[in-house]
């Protein structure tokens, strides 16, 4: 096990790249709830949970909820790098929000510029290195690195929610949530995931299902969230937190639903709450049955990736997530 010093800096410049469904929405809210830690430069969207146009609308609805009209939204890639994939897995319904239908309509529009071009311009113009939080398929970032690999030195850190390292050696006898081997984000574009985690030039931290499957939003946690968040939006947030229950419970016998994406932000703010190991990994692309699976690699040309292997205190992490969301809603 490797211990890392806190990576928290005042006003860390962040780009949040996601396929904005339920837990991408709460990730954006968490980041906005900590303006003392995170400076959210923009939100970029990618196909995944739902078509990219719906992801973009959800990102705009999220920012409209907290009147964050100063945060620009850029629509990104509508298809994976190479292989076709059906959009979504019906985890969050047609709109990607899992029944949380009281978020406001967008109060402003997305930018005309596409996400990858904006990312490239932002990196090129920046006098400081930028951190990416990626909570969807890695298509946008992989496309950026293919087009402009020389900009990698402007990236400080990429924190990725994705992957499953031990697909059959878990409490539930499976780890993948889209197949028994693969996590959804990596399955949707395995070539993009493999390219990014194999790219040298910046720090990479991976938050896989091996860790997030220890964040069950149980009934007790749902009650804590309802009590901590302002009404009536509290009920909508709980819907976001538990939207995948109809898929998670039959597959994993959990009590509520697993929560994934928001812990990327918590990791940057409170790395002391997570156990991390370093390893080289690759993402399976050449086996249709195991596409998207993460496996250890002995290829020393690949970078060492920080892999979050365990949550030190899931209750504290959950309460930290809710606290950040509450601050965003109350500002």
Q: Which residues are catalytic?
A: 260
Contact 239, 276 (CB under 8 A): no
Distance CA 187, CA 178 (A): 7
Give long-range contacts, CB 8 A cutoff, 24+ apart: 195-198. 195/81, 195/138, 195/142, 195/145, 195/146, 196/138, 196/141, 196/142, 196/145, 196/158, 196/160, 197/160, 197/163, 197/281, 197/282, 197/283, 197/294, 197/302, 197/303, 197/305, 198/282, 198/302, 198/303
**Element (H or E) spanning 277, and its range?**
strand 274-279
């Amino acid at each position: 096990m490797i211990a890392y010093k806190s990576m928290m800096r005042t006003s860390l410049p962040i780009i949040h790249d996601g396929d904005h469904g339920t837990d991408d929405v709460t990730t954006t809210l968490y980041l906005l709830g900590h303006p003392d830690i995170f400076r959210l430069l923009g939100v970029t969207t990618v196909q995944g949970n739902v078509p990219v146009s719906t992801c973009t609308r959800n990102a705009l609805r999220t920012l409209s909820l907290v009147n964050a009209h100063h945060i620009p939204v850029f629509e990104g890639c509508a298809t994976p790098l190479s292989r076709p994939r059906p959009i979504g897995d019906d985890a969050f319904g047609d709109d990607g929000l899992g029944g949380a239908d009281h978020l406001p309509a967008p109060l402003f529009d997305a930018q005309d510029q596409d996400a990858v071009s904006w990312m490239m311009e932002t990196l090129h113009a920046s006098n400081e290195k930028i951190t990416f939080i990626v909570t969807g398929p890695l298509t946008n970032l992989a496309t950026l690195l293919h087009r402009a690999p020389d900009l990698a030195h402007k990236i400080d850190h990429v924190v990725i929610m994705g992957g499953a390292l031990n697909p059959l050696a878990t409490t539930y006898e499976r780890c993948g949530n889209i197949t028994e081997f693969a996590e959804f984000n990596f399955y949707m574009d395995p070539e993009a995931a493999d390219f990014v985690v194999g790219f040298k030039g910046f720090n990479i931290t991976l938050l896989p299902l091996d860790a997030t499957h220890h964040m069950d939003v149980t009934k007790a946690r749902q009650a804590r969230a309802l009590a901590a968040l302002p009404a009536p939006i509290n009920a909508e947030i709980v819907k976001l937190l538990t939207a995948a229950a109809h898929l998670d419970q039959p597959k994993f016998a959990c009590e509520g639903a697993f929560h994934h994406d928001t812990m990327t932000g918590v990791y940057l703010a409170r790395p002391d709450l997570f156990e991390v190991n370093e390893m080289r990994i690759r993402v399976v692309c050449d086996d249709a049955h195991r596409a998207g699976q993460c496996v250890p690699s002995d290829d020393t040309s690949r970078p060492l990736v920080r892999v979050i292997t365990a949550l030190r205190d899931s209750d504290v992490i959950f309460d930290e997530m809710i606290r950040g969301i509450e601050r965003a809603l109350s500002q």
